[in-house]
Chains A and B, each alone.
Chain A
C-alpha cells in the first residue's frame, strides 16, 4: 500500500513537470506577466489593460496577467522588471521622466541597459495653465509676467516630468520660476482652481476637463503638435517658445532575453500599435497615442536622461 502511495505521489509530482517541459520549446509556455509600476486604476494601468485586450487578437493562445507594483515613483516596479527572469514571460511598462530620473539621481538599481526597450505606446503632453482670473492668456504674457516678478508655479514632485519641463522653460526663456512642488495632480488642480498659485505645469489629461468647464485656462501645450483633446489650444512652439515635453508610457522587457523571443514581443507591440480597435478604445478613454519603435524609444530615453542629468548637476535633489 505504501509503495502504491509513493508511486502515486511521485507521479503526481512528475506529471506537471513533464507537461511543462514538453512545451518549453514553444513561447509563450505560461502566462506572460506585465509589471505595471503604478496603482491599479491609474492611466498606466489602463494602458496595460487595453494592450492585453488588443494583444489577445494576435496571440490567441497566450495569457497575460498584470502585476501592479506601485511605490517610490515607479522605482520599485522598474527594478522588478530589470531583475525578472529572462525567459520572456515577464515584461513591463515604464514611464518618463521617472525611469531616467531615478538613474540620474543615483537611486536606481538599474540602468537603461538593464532593459530591452520594446517601444512606446502612449503619451501625455505637458501644458502650462493659469487660473481663470489671471491676466495671462498666452506664453508671451507668461514670460513677460515671469520677468516682471517671480511667478509661483506648481509642479509635481522634484524630478518629475513637470519639473523637467519647468526647468526647460526656464532655460529656454531665461526666466526664473518660484517652483512649488506638490504631491500630485489633485493638489495642483486645487491650487490652480483656487487661485493659490500663478501657474502650474502638468499633464493635459489631468486638466482638460477643467479647461473645457472654464474653471482653469490652459495657455500652451508643450508638444510639437496640437492635441486632439483640445484642438483650440496653441502649442508653445507656435507661440515662439520651442519647448517640448511629454510623459511617455512604453513597454520594456528585461535585457538578456533570447533574441527570437524579443523579436516576437516587438512584433506583437507593433501590431497592437496599429490595431484599429485599440486606437478607438484609447480615444474613448482620452489617452493620447505616440507610437515609437524600440530603437526610437531607446534613443528618446537616452536623450532625456542626458538632459535630466544637466538639470540634476546644476541643482541636485
Chain B
C-alpha cells in the first residue's frame, strides 16, 4: 500500500500541490494576523473542485509551511506571524539585534525540519497506539498541563526582570483571560455588554499588540533594527552552533506529545519545549538575550505539533488543534470519515498524505535555507519604511481574525501598554502565557471538579495526574532555588532592579 501511495504522491500534479501549499503556507505564516487555521479554512471551498488527494496535499503543505513561516518575522522583527512563534521571538530577535539574524533563521529552519519530520514519522509508524494515550487525558490532566505551562513564568524571571515582576506579568495575563463568558455557568464577566467581548479578549489581536505594535513603537527613533550594520556581512558563512541536537530532540519530543493531546496547540508546545530547554541548558544566562538553543527547542516544538495533532484527527476524528479541525472538515467533505477505515479502505490516500508531510518539510527546508540570507536583509530595512508596513499588517491582521473593529482597539491598547511594561522590566512572555493558559486551566479545573462530583481527590488519584505533578515540581524547583540563591548572595542588587 505504501508503494501505491508513493506512486500517487509522485504524480506531477500532487508534487505541485505540495510545493505550492508549502510555499504559500510559509508566506501565510509569515504575515502577522494570518494564521494556518485561517489558510486551511479558506482552502476548503477550493478543494471541493479538486481531487480529494490533491486537496489534502495542499492543506497539509499549508499547515507545515505556516508553522515554520511564523518564525521568520518573529526572529527578524519580534512580530510573531503565528502565536506559536512567540517563544522563538524571545530568543530570535535579540540575535537579530546582534547581527546574527541569518544564523537564527538557519537554526529555526533546521529545527523546524527535524521537529516536523520526527512527528510525521511518529504519525506514520505508531499513530493508533498514541491516539489511545491521548484519550487518557481528561479535564484534571488538562488543568495540570496548563500548570506545567504556567510554571514557565517562573523561569522567565531570570532575564533581567525579577521573579516578582514575572509573576505579576503572568497574573495580569490570567486576569485578562477572565474577561468573557464563564465556561461553566454561562454568566458574563467584565464584558461591558460588548458582544465582541463575550468570547473573551481575542488572543491574536492581543498578541499582535503586545509584540508587533509595541515593537514598532519602540523602534521609532532608531535607524534600523541592527545598530551596527558592519557585523551583518559576516553572517553568511557563520557555522551552526554546536550542541543544538539535544534541544532540537527535546523540542521534537515535547511538540509531538503535546500535539497529540486534543485541544492543545502548537503555542503551548513551543512554550513548553522552550521552557524545558531553558532548564536543561548549560548557558542559562544567555536565555532571553539571544540563545540559539531556545530557538531550536521552540521551533522543533511547534513543528512537532503538526504530525502529533494529526494522530487523533486521522485515527479518532478528534482534531488535535484548530488547524487539524479545519483539515478534518476537508476530509469529511470528501466522505473520508476518520477511523480505522481511513488506514485500510482509503489507505492509499491516507498514507500518501502522511508521506507528503515529509516532502513538505523538505520543501520548506530548502526554501528556508535558500532564502535565509535574503530574509535577513529585512532587518536592515530603514525603520521609516518598516514601521508603516508592519503596522498596516498588524491592524489588518487584528481586524481580519473576527471581522471586529473592537479587536483593532485591543491591539492598539495592548501595544501601548506593552511598551510601558517592557520598559519597566515586566515580562511580556509571562503575560502571554497567562492569557493563553488561563482559560485552559480554569475550564480544566471546573470540569474536573464536576467530574469528581466536587471532590479534589480527582487531581491526585489518576496516574497521568501524578506524573504531571512530578513534572511541575521538576520545573519549579531549580528556578526558585536559583532565585533564592541569587537573592542571598547579592543583596545589594536586589533593591534597584527596575532597569537593566
Contacts and interface: CB of A to CB of B under 8 A. Distances in A.
Contact of B195 (A39, A75, A187): A75
B337 A42 contact: no
A84 interface: no
A186 to B, nearest CB: 6
A152 B450 contact: yes
Contacts of A31: none
Interface string B180-192: 0101111110000
Interface in A34-64: 39-42, 46, 49
A193 B195 contact: no
Interface string A176-187: 001111110011
B77 to A, nearest CB: 28
Nearest to B447: A180
B451 A76 contact: no
B42 interface: yes
Interface in B162-196: 181, 183-188, 195-196
A72 B195 contact: yes
A150 B195 CA distance: 35
Contact of A209 (B45, B312, B337, B402): B337
Interface string B305-325: 000000010001111000001
Contacts of A72: 195-196, 198-199
Contacts of B183: 157, 181, 183
Nearest to A209: B337
B186 A76 contact: no
Nearest to B41: A41
Which one of B41, B196, B318, B338 has the greatest number of beta carbons of chain A within 10 Å?
A: B318
A179 B332 CA distance: 29
A68 B403 CA distance: 8
Contacts of A105: 186
Contacts of B181: 157
A178 B270 CA distance: 36
Interface string B394-431: 00000000111000000000000000000000000000
A197 B337 CA distance: 24
B185 A183 contact: no
Nearest to A39: B41
A48 B411 CA distance: 32
A190 B447 contact: no
B137 interface: yes
Interface string B324-346: 01100100110101111100000
Nearest to A317: B186
B109 interface: no
A193 B340 contact: no
Given A40-B42, A69-B403, A178-B450, A191 B316 contact: no
Contact of A212 (B45, B199, B337): B337
A70 B188 CA distance: 18
Contact of A189 (B317, B402, B403): B317
B139 interface: yes
Contacts of B402: 70-71
Interface string A61-98: 00000011111110110010000000000000000000
B135 interface: yes
Nearest to B183: A181
B335 A76 contact: no
A284 interface: yes
Interface residues of B, number: 47
A285 B333 contact: yes
Interface in A173-214: 178-183, 186-187, 189-191, 193-197, 209-210, 212-213
A309 to B, nearest CB: 15
Given A157-B186, A209-B317, A40 B325 contact: no
Contacts of B262: 186-187, 189-190
Contacts of B333: 46, 285
Contacts of A76: 195-196, 404
Contacts of B199: 71-72
B443 A183 contact: yes
Contacts of A213: 317, 337-341
Contacts of B347: none
A225 B183 CA distance: 33
A195 B195 CA distance: 35
Contacts of A209: 317, 332, 337-339
A158 interface: yes
A49 B338 CA distance: 24
Q: Closest 5 CB pairs between A and B?
A: A158-B186, A213-B339, A317-B186, A194-B135, A196-B138
Interface of A: 39-42, 46, 49, 67-73, 75-76, 79, 105, 107, 150, 152, 157-159, 178-183, 186-187, 189-191, 193-197, 209-210, 212-213, 215, 284-286, 317
28 contacts: A40-B45, A41-B329, A69-B403, A71-B198, A71-B199, A72-B199, A76-B404, A105-B186, A107-B188, A152-B453, A157-B181, A157-B183, A157-B186, A182-B447, A187-B263, A189-B316, A190-B134, A190-B137, A190-B312, A191-B139, A194-B138, A209-B317, A209-B339, A210-B316, A212-B337, A213-B317, A213-B340, A285-B332
